[in-house]
Structure 1
Amino acid sequence: MTSWKNGSWKLGCMLATAIALGGISLVSIAPAARAQQTLFEEQGNLQPMEDEYTFSGTAGQTVTIAMNSDVFDTLLVLRGPNGQDVTMNDDYARSLNSTIVATLPTTGTYTVLARSFSGQGGAYRIVVRPATAYDQAYARGFEQLRNGQMDQAIASFTDAIGQDPNQPIVYLDRGDAYYSQGNIQGVVADYTRAAELYERAGDTMAAQGLREQLEYMRSNPTPMPMPMPMPMP
């Protein structure tokens, strides 16, 4: 009796291994004791977690594509007329929202894929428009900062400030570039200006958070990680 059980167990293991390797296909048969009335049975079609939008673009045209949501982490993909991905973005401008600023390589119909980074869903807003001079300057600085090109990033952020001096995010990003170079005076000036802009926009919490960071920096010259406040709406 015991040897039969052992043999049956070994055979079961061999079958499981063969099935896992794709060598055998078996049809599962429910035991008679479990053959009870079905409580629920439906058919469905699980859709991919993305929406698609198209627009017509011209070679050399620079566009800004922005996707914002208050309930999930967005992800944007721009696909060209040839079906190949041109670029993508997850997080942008110190937020979980996504923005692409891109110069279109060819004329044709482009596809924008709106996705959720973590698979969650919810309401969102997506906009495609011609890129402004500020958009282009900030996007350059954003990429340069990510790539560790601090001098170039500072120059691009300074250009962006010249185009629109009322955006606190660009001061914060330029301040971070200054911080990486040890230019504390530049950090203090830019973070102070960003706090003023947040306060003017009614975001007193962000303004207070920045002022607390500045106070800490003045009293503790040792570098510290800087959290990233959310942008103004």
Structure 2
Amino acid sequence: MVRIEPFQIKSGRIRSGLTAALMAVGMGIGSAAGLPAQAETFLEESGTIVPAEHSYTFEGTAGQAITITLESEEFDSVISLIDAAGEEIAFNDDFGGTLNSALFVTLPADGVYTVTARSFSGEGGDYQLVVRLSSPFDITYNEAQELNQQGNFEDAIARFTDAIALDDSQASAYLGRAEATLGRLYTEQGDSIAGPEDIPADIREVIISDFERAADLIAASGNEERANYLREQTDYLRNGSSEPGM
């Protein structure tokens, strides 16, 4: 058990007799791969998980803002945070349209917390788990996500824009802003939007611009498959000739 000052990293390998194909990439809410890189390692470990789950503990203090990420190129990750009473207080499966996971949490009390990392379908592979203090980008991005989930799309767009101003290299913020822009549009116009041709040209270009920027950042990180998926969505918005992936 360690304190998260400044943060901790766990890396290892999940092993299981089960195999499963990775889920198809798609748009999601809020990418661990898109979070800011950290320069200093506080703790790093490697190991083997049998079965496909492992738990780590850390000591936190009330009001502490933390970011937890679980990344793997080999399996669909799932992460949860459990408090000292054994209650799950946060959970994430797919984050930012990827199969990675991330949590942004303000700790409610002093005590020992448990992070559980597991594979969604039981398939094994290498992973990296990071627990660290949240950055200004993390905090702003999380606020934007919460506003988006509440349906407060106008304020969500503003906070996503603030997050981009803090760090313009994070694909997740562009995707979040595009999603909030679409949410605002459907709230205002509802059933009148039957296809991309019904989206006002200026709004469509804003969404396309965010998709294109996100696709470029994701491609630069090495995930060409997902970048191409986003580009298909962009082409569909621009041309409206066929559904993405068809």
Contact 2:236–2:243 (Cα < 8 Å) also in 1: no
Question: What is the match of residue 239 of structure 2?
Answer: 219
Farther off after superposition, 144-153 or 67-76: 144-153
Alpha-carbon distance in 2 for matches of 1:61, 1:225 = 44
1:162 equivalent among 145, 157, 165: 165
Deviation at 1:225, TM superposition (A): 6.9
Cα deviation per residue 1:39-71 (whole Å; 9 max; x = unaligned)?
A: xxxxxxxx6542110111111101111111111
Alpha-carbon distance in 2 for matches of 1:208, 1:125 = 25
Contact 2:68–2:103 (Cα < 8 Å) also in 1: yes
Deviation at 1:160, TM superposition (A): 1.0
Which structure has more strand as a fraction of its residues?
Answer: 2
- Supply the AA of the counterpart residue of 1:158: T
Contact 2:53–2:117 (Cα < 8 Å) also in 1: yes
* Cα gap change, 1:225 to 1:100, in 2 (>3 Å): farther
Flag the structure with more relative contact order, 1 or 2, with Cα contacts below 8 A and sequence separation at least 6: 2
* Cα gap change, 1:100 to 1:215, in 2 (>3 Å): closer
- Supply the AA of the counterpart residue of 1:128: V
- Supply the AA of the counterpart residue of 2:122: G
Alpha-carbon distance in 1 for matches of 2:220, 2:136 = 24
Contact 1:178–1:184 (Cα < 8 Å) also in 2: no
Question: What is the match of residue 125 of structure 1?
Answer: 128
Contact 1:172–1:194 (Cα < 8 Å) also in 2: yes
Farther off after superposition, 56-65 or 191-200: 191-200
- Supply the AA of the counterpart residue of 2:234: L
Alpha-carbon distance in 2 for matches of 1:205, 1:92 = 16
Question: What is the match of residue 101 of structure 1?
Answer: 104
Calculate the TM-score normalised by the size of structure 2: 0.63
- Supply the AA of the counterpart residue of 2:93: D
1:194 equivalent among 198, 202, 214: 214
How many residue pairs get aligned? The number is 179
Calculate the TM-score normalised by the size of structure 1: 0.66
Unmatched 5+ residue regions in structure 1?
1-46, 228-233
* Cα gap change, 1:65 to 1:202, in 2 (>3 Å): closer
Cα deviation per residue 1:90-119 (whole Å; 9 max; x = unaligned)?
A: 111111111111001111111111122222
Bigger radius of gyration = 1
* Cα gap change, 1:210 to 1:71, in 2 (>3 Å): closer
Alpha-carbon distance in 2 for matches of 1:83, 1:189 = 44
Alpha-carbon distance in 2 for matches of 1:120, 1:196 = 29
- Supply the AA of the counterpart residue of 1:191: F
